[in-house]
Amino acid sequence: MNDERIAVSTAHNRISSCNVVLKIMRGDNHIRIDKIAKTLEKKRCYVRSQAPDRIDLDEIRKVQHQLRNSGKIRLAAIIGLTRTLGMRLREAVLCDLQRLKREAQKFGKINIQEGTKGGRKGSHAPRWIDITECAADAIDFAILASPPNSKNLLNPNETYISFIRTVVRHKGINLGGYGIRKIHDLRAAYACERYEQITGHPAPVIEKRLAMSKEELKMDKEARRIISRELGHERIEICNSYIGSCKK
C-alpha cells in the first residue's frame, strides 16, 4: 500500500469535526478528543507567512466583472461578500441577503448568522459587521446574482453541496487565473485591511515592525480582539492565521 499522509491542519479539522458530531448526537461533551496537538504529536501552525491575494478592492471589482461576463455571476457575488465582509464561503452562499440589506439600511451594520461555523445563529451569537460603501455594493451585487424566489445564492431546489461542486469547484473553474489562490484568502485580505484601519499600520504578514511600544502592543491586541469577533472566532490567537504574528 502507498504511504498515504494528510496535512496536520487536515487532521485537526477532521478530529474537530468528530467532536462536533459527537456533541450534536449526544447533547454533551463527555466523549471528545481534547488536546488534539498532543494526540497527533504535532502542533498545527496557525501563523500566516504569506500576504493574501487581491487585497485591493479595485482588483476585486475587475475580477467580479470578468466572472460576470463569463456567466459566473454567483461566484462573482461570493468573492465580493468574502472580501468586503470577511465571510466564510458557506456564510456567503447561505446568508439571507434581503435581511442583510435591511439591517445595513437601518443600523449601518449587518449580523452574520446563516452558515456560521458550529451552528452559531440568532441573537445569542451576534456577529455585527460595520457596513462600508463597498460592502453595501457587494450585498446589492449578491441580490442581483440571487436566483428567482431565493433569499440567498442557492436556487430553491439546489443544495449547498451541489452548488459547491458545480459552481465553486467545478472542473474548469480556476480562480488562480484571476489572481486568487483560494477564496479563503479574501477573508484574510479583509482581516489585513481591518488591522490597518484599527492600528494605522499594515498587518504583520504584509509589513512586520521590528519593535513595538507598549501602546502599540496594546493596540495590536485590541485589533486582534475586534477582528477575531468579526470573523466569528472565539480566540484572538486565531488571527495569526489571517494577519500574521507581531512576534519575532
Quick: pLDDT tens for 57-104: 888 899 899 999 989 999 999 999 999 999 999 999 999 999 999 999
Tell whether 166 and 202 lie within a shared domain: no
pLDDT at 98: 96
| CA-to-CA dists, residue 106 to 84, 100, 148, 229, 239, angstroms | 19, 10, 25, 22, 30
pTM of the complete model: 0.78
Task: Please say which residue of 183, 213, 234 terminates a domain.
Answer: 183
pLDDT (tens digit per residue) in 113-155: 998 876 555 545 678 999 999 999 999 999 999 999 999 999 9
Tell whether 173 and 213 lie within a shared domain: no
Tell whether 194 and 176 lie within a shared domain: no
pLDDT at 192: 93
Mean pLDDT of the chain: 83
Res 3 pLDDT > 50: no
Q: What is the mean pLDDT of residues 224-242?
A: 87
Res 170 pLDDT > 70: no
- Provide the residue range defining the domain that includes 71: 57-183
Written as nine digits, the cell of 248 is 519575532
At position 18, the amino acid (one-letter code) is: C
Tell whether 104 and 119 lie within a shared domain: yes
| CA-to-CA dists, residue 202 to 24, 69, 180, 193, 199, angstroms | 40, 34, 20, 8, 8
